[in-house]
């Protein structure tokens, strides 16, 4: 047996291993703490020290005082809970029906659109309320809806939401477990961090603030997914829809939009 010591710098293999490990650590630190953070143009990444602090998770106030960075786009300010607007009064529904007379051209007399505007009949009240506030505050923009919402009071928006939520919802889509449901709707794409559509939008479960999609015009649903994907629409809570849509393929967007609009090859 050899008496040569393994852990000594006289051993060229040990020396090479130590130096190689140090080199990898240094390169990794430079890439992770300096180069990658510094390519961001946000204020918190300005300068090497700020970039290092940001990469290490140091609170911004530690190195930037009380300065805050304003978001480049307006985000939603609505806090949605499962209890929001669940017990609407008959008076509120009645006031909403009167207010809704100005909405019939796009959304139909009973909340069922004959154009490419969304159906509102049976939609969750919290969804309608949130979208109206977002239109009013500028978190979501539309040439028609933004001017319509700007002068609504908070009670007006609550009443409109209560009215449309009280209308009969269109017949439910086929169960997502059936073979007609596209994979993106029934199963999502876990490797791309896409949950099944039906988890939030009904069919499997529903999430507070997520709209009921059955019966929505395919052109409308597709337009919203594309807007989320390219960042034109930013009023989703915690960027949930933007993160999903930007990872969807054009074919998956078309399939999901057609499915919820019932534009399928069979059983249409």
For residue 267, pLDDT beyond 50: no
| pLDDT the model gives residue 40 | 56
Number of neighbours of residue 175 by Cβ within 10 angstroms = 12
Q: pLDDT confidence of 73, banded at 50, 70, 90?
A: confident
Q: Distance (Å, rounded) from C-alpha 84 to C-alpha 211? A: 14
- The CATH class, in words, for 183-260 is mainly alpha
Q: Distance (Å, rounded) from C-alpha 260 to C-alpha 186? A: 12
Q: Which residues pair with 194 in a beta bridge?
A: 189
Q: Is 99 exposed, middle or buried (0-12, 13-18, 19+ CB in 10 A)?
A: middle
Query: What is residue 223's three-state secondary structure?
Result: helix
pLDDT digit string, tens, across residues 110-144: 999 888 899 999 999 999 999 999 999 999 999 99
**Sequence spans of domains, the chain:** 12-64, 90-166, 183-260
Torsion of Cα atoms, 165 then 170 then 175 then 178, to 10°: -150
90-166 CATH choice from 3.40.50.620, 3.40.50.300, 3.40.50.1970, 1.10.760.10: 1.10.760.10
pLDDT digit string, tens, across residues 33-63: 667 666 655 555 556 666 666 666 665 555 4
Same topology, domains 90-166 and 183-260? Answer is yes
Q: Distance (Å, rounded) from C-alpha 176 to C-alpha 212? A: 14
pLDDT digit string, tens, across residues 219-259: 999 999 999 999 999 999 989 999 999 999 999 999 999 99
Average pLDDT, the chain: 84
pTM of the model: 0.71
């Amino acid at each position: 047996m050899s008496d040569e010591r393994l852990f000594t710098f006289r051993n060229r293999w040990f020396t090479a291993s130590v130096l190689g490990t140090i080199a990898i650590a240094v390169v990794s630190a430079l890439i992770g703490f300096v180069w990658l953070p510094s390519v961001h143009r946000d204020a918190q990444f300005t300068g090497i020290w700020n970039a290092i602090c940001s990469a290490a998770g140091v609170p911004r106030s530690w190195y930037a005082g009380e300065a805050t960075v304003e978001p480049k786009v307006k985000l939603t300010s609505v806090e949605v809970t499962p209890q929001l607007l669940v017990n609407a009064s008959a008076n509120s529904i009645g006031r909403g029906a009167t207010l809704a007379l100005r909405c019939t051209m796009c959304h139909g007399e009973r909340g069922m659109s004959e154009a490419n505007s969304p159906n509102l009949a049976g939609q969750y009240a919290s969804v309608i309320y949130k979208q109206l506030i977002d239109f009013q505050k500028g978190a979501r923009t539309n040439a028609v809806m933004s001017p319509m919402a700007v002068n609504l009071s908070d009670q007006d928006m609550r009443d409109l939401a209560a009215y449309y939520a009280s209308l009969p919802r269109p017949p439910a889509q086929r169960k997502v477990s059936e073979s007609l449901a596209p994979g993106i709707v029934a199963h999502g794409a876990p490797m791309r961090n896409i949950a099944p559509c039906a988890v939030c939008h009904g069919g499997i479960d529903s999430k507070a603030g997520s709209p009921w999609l059955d019966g929505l015009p395919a052109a409308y649903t597709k337009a919203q997914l594309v807007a989320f994907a390219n960042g034109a629409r930013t009023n989703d809570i915690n960027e949930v829809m933007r993160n999903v849509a930007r990872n969807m393929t054009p074919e998956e967007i078309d399939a999901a939009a057609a499915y919820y609009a019932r534009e399928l090859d069979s059983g249409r």
